[in-house]
Chains A and B, each alone.
Chain A
């Protein structure tokens, strides 16, 4: 037999620098203004507070722009504008409202690259993701919901739909423009007017979007975008004019909003945190599963509420999966998010970086075993290397708390029942993953996992036609599809 075994039985693959990629920075200009005012009643308006906050790029910790801080009077002005715009907007024929949304979709597509660069600079996500995911998906949401505007009669069998009025929306920093699209598109399609607040650290694309609304010819006051921190957000969700509040963000803030709205009769939808289990059975297509695991936890630096942050691997293949996963992680490119070859970009903010560090430290303190990618991180900016914890038990903080960073906790199981039991052993219930070649097992697990989205043999897939949202403490209400649309209408 000609084949020889190598002298050294420790077989390693070398991922070295034989062929190093040169930097490939995206060169399109993001057209970021030095200062952004509030967008109220179709006009950019300086805040009554006269205060601005610095918008920091996590890529290099530099200041990108200044964002207005809206106070209660600004929020009130925004609601007044939205309330004033409501009668005309809601009375427009659906087809006409739809045409505005189609226009918005097209304008976003036209300027997708510019917005993608702005998103990457502002939030730290890799340009590959903002370019190939956030922007196309944001435009798709407007396009999809545009078509609903004149077909509301078909959305709820036996009932017809009426708008709610003025809707207050508060969105997070992980998918700034995409979350704006998820919130605005169905609200506008149903004939509501909106006061929207983007996240404090990622307001730039929302303000660029505000300018684009002028180009679309959207009537003043239909969409009002105001910026600021937690106080501004509080003013938005508690304003008496809001007929409905929609919030995406942390479970802690979601609960506070639910409490704050108690007794007001306002409608509320919440899309909150998660601690999703990603379950891999021994008969799974392993290489695709490994790819799915990587995509589940390192997509957008793990700043994803539905991130597959708990990997549950069947005991019989745990070593194989761990080995493959470590190999795969070795050629994840971590660094400058503006580089087209970057897979994992910058952590959104210093505060978030510190939170991730603290939780990783707790994992170490509690005895879990750490593996991190050998990556040289940029000296400036906020970065954290893709991280694995093995030997994790369900009682450890890293197995229970949402880390919202590129940190994966690995646990094992032996039987399907044990997998489901561990997967469901959490207050959260946003999403879950299942990897197996056995069709009937997929359907059984899908029905037993208490989560709003189950990805089987795939992960982190989204579509405007597909309802998304959580069980249990991950919130209530859906976004996307007919079901998501109905969250923005009353049945009459």
Chain B
């Protein structure tokens, strides 16, 4: 007689802990065969608020990590994912044998993590500057994290797109509250488990699942979120920008109407980090 397997209850990574929604709400997801897969947390605006608190708590420590240390932690994450690539590929297409496409996505995700691990101690020098001012002052501009950043991931490429959005943010020293793909939340849940056992400090990345329309207004208006990164349709873009205006958020949007090639070189790099750093200019007199 076949053994009855233990099913894993999906939980969201918030502040280093695995949570269900405070509301108790869930939504069911079925696999490719149509079979019931699991009930995923239907996170609410209160869960989002709690996640922002967790991200806020983690921010000073993460921002203060040395660039080298952040790079090593990111690389460690790549190691975790590489080791569990097969499992992640299965999560990308539950109920089916992992396709070449799923594996390709996992491998691209790993390479993307490695890419940003290498950026951690380089973007500062390229985005900052020493400025040759005309007065007798030493004047320099450095990058600093913008703060807590909200991410709204697209439905497609639930691993690669999510990572493409959040990696430049954490590379820049920010902390993140991200809403995963609604229709394919499993990779985000699994990623959360990997993040939890990587060296990434608790609260740096917080991953929620749930109904996008419910959470979007709170992402837009929560004043402590200092920036947003989202793939969004026209209506959502307007709503996000409108809501963001009251707290003067930096908003980076990709339209979801036209397909995005998440594998493209363009979807990574220095200028994605730039979207989530502040530039601080310091002046000091030069004298004896």
Q: Please indicate whether A and B come from the same complex rather than being unrelated chains.
A: yes
Residues of B within 8 A of A255 (CB): 245-246, 248
Interface residues of B in 47-73 (CB under 8 A from A): none
Q: Are A453 and B137 in contact (CB-based, < 8 A)?
A: no
The segment out of A188-196, A230-238, A333-341, A468-476 that lies at the interface is: A468-476
- Using CB atoms, name the residue of chain A closest to B226: A472
Q: Are B280 and A258 in contact (CB-based, < 8 A)?
A: no
Interface residues of A in 419-465 (CB under 8 A from B): 442, 446-447, 451-458, 461, 463, 465
Residues of A within 8 A of B242 (CB): 259, 262-263
Whole-angstrom distance between the alpha carbons of A463 and B135 in the complex? 8
Q: Are B283 and A455 in contact (CB-based, < 8 A)?
A: yes
The answer to whether B141 has its CB under 8 Å from any CB of chain A is yes
Q: Are B279 and A483 in contact (CB-based, < 8 A)?
A: yes
- Using CB atoms, name the residue of chain A closest to B236: A263
Q: Are A452 and B237 in contact (CB-based, < 8 A)?
A: no
Q: Are A156 and B271 in contact (CB-based, < 8 A)?
A: yes
Q: Are A481 and B285 in contact (CB-based, < 8 A)?
A: no
Count of chain A residues with a beta carbon within 8 Å of a chain B beta carbon: 46
The answer to whether A48 has its CB under 8 Å from any CB of chain B is no
> With A452-B278, A461-B135 given, is the CB distance from A483 to B129 under 8 Å?
yes
Q: Which one of A256, A453, A483 lies within 8 Å of B127 (CB-CB)? A: A483
Whole-angstrom distance between the alpha carbons of A453 and B283 in the complex? 8
Residues of A within 8 A of B240 (CB): 262
Whole-angstrom distance between the alpha carbons of A255 and B245 in the complex? 5
Q: Mark B221-254, 1 if CB is under 8 A from A, else 0.
A: 0000010000000110111111011111010000
Q: Are A473 and B269 in contact (CB-based, < 8 A)?
A: no
The answer to whether B131 has its CB under 8 Å from any CB of chain A is yes
B90 CB to nearest chain A CB (Å): 36
- Using CB atoms, name the residue of chain A closest to B136: A458
The answer to whether A251 has its CB under 8 Å from any CB of chain B is yes
Q: Are A471 and B278 in contact (CB-based, < 8 A)?
A: yes
Q: Are A466 and B271 in contact (CB-based, < 8 A)?
A: no
Q: Are A463 and B139 in contact (CB-based, < 8 A)?
A: yes
Residues of B within 8 A of A469 (CB): 279
Residues of B within 8 A of A458 (CB): 137, 283-285
Q: Are B283 and A262 in contact (CB-based, < 8 A)?
A: no
The answer to whether A157 has its CB under 8 Å from any CB of chain B is yes
The answer to whether B86 has its CB under 8 Å from any CB of chain A is no
B208 CB to nearest chain A CB (Å): 24
Q: Which of B142, B241, B271, B280 has the most CB of A within 10 A?
A: B280
Residues of B within 8 A of A454 (CB): 280-283
Whole-angstrom distance between the alpha carbons of A362 and B271 in the complex? 46
> With A452-B281, A478-B279 given, is the CB distance from A258 to B237 under 8 Å?
no
Whole-angstrom distance between the alpha carbons of A469 and B278 in the complex? 9
Residues of B within 8 A of A272 (CB): 248
Interface residues of A in 229-258 (CB under 8 A from B): 251, 254-256, 258
Whole-angstrom distance between the alpha carbons of A268 and B238 in the complex? 14
Q: Are B129 and A482 in contact (CB-based, < 8 A)?
A: yes
> With A159-B271, A452-B281, A483-B279 given, is the CB distance from A466 to B133 under 8 Å?
yes
The answer to whether A356 has its CB under 8 Å from any CB of chain B is no
A428 CB to nearest chain B CB (Å): 10
The answer to whether A9 has its CB under 8 Å from any CB of chain B is no
Q: Are B134 and A140 in contact (CB-based, < 8 A)?
A: yes
Interface residues of B in 127-166 (CB under 8 A from A): 127, 129, 131-135, 137, 139, 141-142, 144, 146
Residues of A within 8 A of B144 (CB): 447
Q: Are A442 and B279 in contact (CB-based, < 8 A)?
A: no
B99 CB to nearest chain A CB (Å): 33
The answer to whether A467 has its CB under 8 Å from any CB of chain B is yes
Whole-angstrom distance between the alpha carbons of A156 and B271 in the complex? 9
- Using CB atoms, name the residue of chain B closest to A263: B238
Q: Which one of A159, A467, A472, A476 lies within 8 Å of B131 (CB-CB)? A: A467
A110 CB to nearest chain B CB (Å): 20
The answer to whether A158 has its CB under 8 Å from any CB of chain B is yes
Residues of B within 8 A of A474 (CB): 248
B209 CB to nearest chain A CB (Å): 26
A350 CB to nearest chain B CB (Å): 29
Q: Which of B135, B141, B246, B271 has the most CB of A within 10 A?
A: B141
Q: Are A465 and B248 in contact (CB-based, < 8 A)?
A: no
Whole-angstrom distance between the alpha carbons of A140 and B135 in the complex? 13
- Using CB atoms, name the residue of chain B closest to A251: B248
The answer to whether A270 has its CB under 8 Å from any CB of chain B is yes
B32 CB to nearest chain A CB (Å): 36
> With A259-B242, A270-B248 given, is the CB distance from A442 to B271 under 8 Å?
no
Residues of A within 8 A of B246 (CB): 255, 259
Whole-angstrom distance between the alpha carbons of A251 and B246 in the complex? 10
**A residues adjacent to B (C-beta < 8 A):** 140, 156-159, 251, 254-256, 258-259, 261-263, 265, 270, 272, 442, 446-447, 451-458, 461, 463, 465-469, 471-476, 478, 481-483, 491
Known: A158-B270, A454-B282, A461-B135. 15 other contacts (CB 8 A): A158-B269, A159-B271, A255-B248, A262-B244, A263-B234, A272-B248, A451-B280, A452-B281, A453-B280, A453-B283, A465-B133, A466-B139, A473-B248, A483-B129, A491-B271
14 contacts between A and B (CB under 8 A): A258-B245, A259-B246, A262-B237, A263-B237, A263-B241, A270-B248, A447-B280, A451-B280, A452-B280, A454-B281, A454-B283, A455-B283, A481-B131, A481-B141
A-B complex: 3 closest residue pairs judged by Cβ atoms: A263-B238, A262-B241, A258-B245
